[in-house]
Structures are given as structure tokens and as C-alpha cells.
Amino acid sequence: MELVLDQIVKNFGDKKVLQGVNFEFEKGKIYGLLGRNGAGKTTLFNCLSGETPVDGGQALLRNRGTSQKLREEDVGYVYSLPILPEFLTGYEFVKFFMDIHRDKLQPEHDINYYFETMQMTKEDQHRLIKNYSHGMKNKIQMLLFMITKPPVILLDEPLTSFDVIVALEMKNLLREMKKDHILIFSTHILQLASDLCDELVILNHGRLSPVDSKLLSSPEFEQSVIEMLQDPGEAGDSLAEHT
């Protein structure tokens, strides 16, 4: 299965954000999306999720020689600022979510299976979501997509809010999930990108460019990425200043 981006264009007034984006993302890989502040990473995610209409081009899901237009239900979006009903407990919300998606459930997996997979204690399950940390809320978002299994999962800065132990748990979960999904996440942390990703993609000047996979483990990796993100004539910028 592949996610095919075909000449996607998005403008906001006179500002040209996406200028004919082309790329093919494959199931079984974790892709890291890198780009400077304002490059259009969130705009691209919003276009793919259906939240923002494109001005041109299309996104397709290709599977075994057949293609169909990417639908909203094909995409799971893990927001950098989680949007959850904070008046419910984690358990109440997940149970409600499972009830309304009963047709998508795997009969061998009950609610306890998903909470155990996310390593959430009984105490945390029955706390109000409004009292969750940012990282706990992101865990709930990930849990929902384990239930519905959308083919494409977009993650906006997914691991920056976790402590070291939980971040490791989530990285292992993503590695496990990639066999069934197309995973794309945006990050500004190069060490995380090189550690977790199978491939990196740069969004710059409204277009996507792959990073040579051979660079991921090379001493020139960081400098090469910085050079790809710089405008002509720039020098010495620090990627840590850009997201």
C-alpha cells in the first residue's frame, strides 16, 4: 500500500505554501517530515486529513494495483495539541469511542487490551482527561488509532511531550505499528528522526525532497539536512531554531 501525493497545491491568498507536492509513502516505513518554521508541514497534514481543502492536485491510496482518492476516514491525525473531551475519564472516552466504532473492532481485543498496550495504569484510566499530562493525552490519541486502524497516520511532534521512558515505549509502539500503516511524523529533533525513521523527507519551498537514506547513519547527516533546509546564500543556521 502506498500514499501517493500528486501535484498538491495550497495557497493562502498571495502566499504559496504547497507548490505541486509529489511523493510516494509506503506502508511498512516510518517517515520523518522536516521543514523550517512556516514551511507548510501542518498545512500538508491538514490537507491530507481533509481539514483543509487543496487548491490543486490530489492524494491517492494505492493498493495492489488499484487507486482511490484518500478519504478522511483513511487518516488518523495525532495533533500536537490533543483535542479530547476533558470532562470524561480516559476509560469513559475510550469505551464510548469503541461503542461508536463497533464495526471496526477486532473481536479478540477488549478495552483492557488497548490500555495494557499503552501501559496505562488503572488509576490513570479512571482519571479525568483534563488532569492528564500532554503526553498522556497523546497516548489516548494513539490508542484510538490502534482501534480504528486507519491506513495513514500523521503525527505532529508526537514524542516531544513524553519523558524518556514513555518516549521509548512510544517509539517501540510506532515500530510495531508501521507494518500495518503508513506513518508520517513531523519533528525538529534530528536525533529522534535518525533513530526512529526509515526515511526522511524535507519540505522546503513548497515541495518535498527525500534525504538520502545513506546519510542517516553518517557523520554528515546533520549538516546535510541543514544545507537542504537553507535558502540560497544562507549559512550557519541552527536547525534547533526551526520546526
CATH of the domain at 94: 3.40.50.300
Question: Is residue 20 in some structural domain?
Answer: yes
25 pLDDT higher than 90: yes
pLDDT in tens, 179-220: 889 999 888 777 777 778 889 999 988 999 888 777 766 667
Question: Is residue 100 a part of any domain in this protein?
Answer: yes
pLDDT for 102:
86
For residue 46, being part of any structural domain is answered with yes
Tens of pLDDT, residues 165-177? 767 777 888 888 8
Q: What is the mean pLDDT of residues 136-150?
A: 87
Residue 51 in domain = yes
Please give the distance of CA 39 from its chain centroid, rounded to a whole number: 16
pLDDT at 152 over 90: yes
Domain that holds residue 46: 2-234
How far is CA 121 from each of CA 87, 112, 196, rounded to the nearest angstrom? 19, 10, 26
pLDDT at 49: 93
Residue 234's pLDDT band (cuts 50, 70, 90): low
Measured CA to CA in angstroms, residue 125 lies from 94, 115, 118 at distances of: 9, 8, 11
What is the C-alpha separation between 65 and 1, in angstroms, rounded?
A: 9
Look at residue 35 and tell me if it is in a domain.
yes
Q: Give backbone dihedrals phi and psi of 231, rounded to 5 degrees, phi first.
A: -80, 155
Task: Say which residue, 69 or 190, is predicted with more confidence.
Answer: 69
∠32-77-12 over CA atoms, to 5°? 85
The mean pLDDT of the chain is 85
**For residue 59, with 0-12 CB atoms within 10 Å meaning exposed, 13-18 middle and 19 or more buried, which class applies?**
buried
The total number of structural domains in the chain stands at 1
Residue 113, in any domain of the structure? yes
Q: Is residue 70 part of a domain?
A: yes
Please report whether residue 243 resides in a domain: no
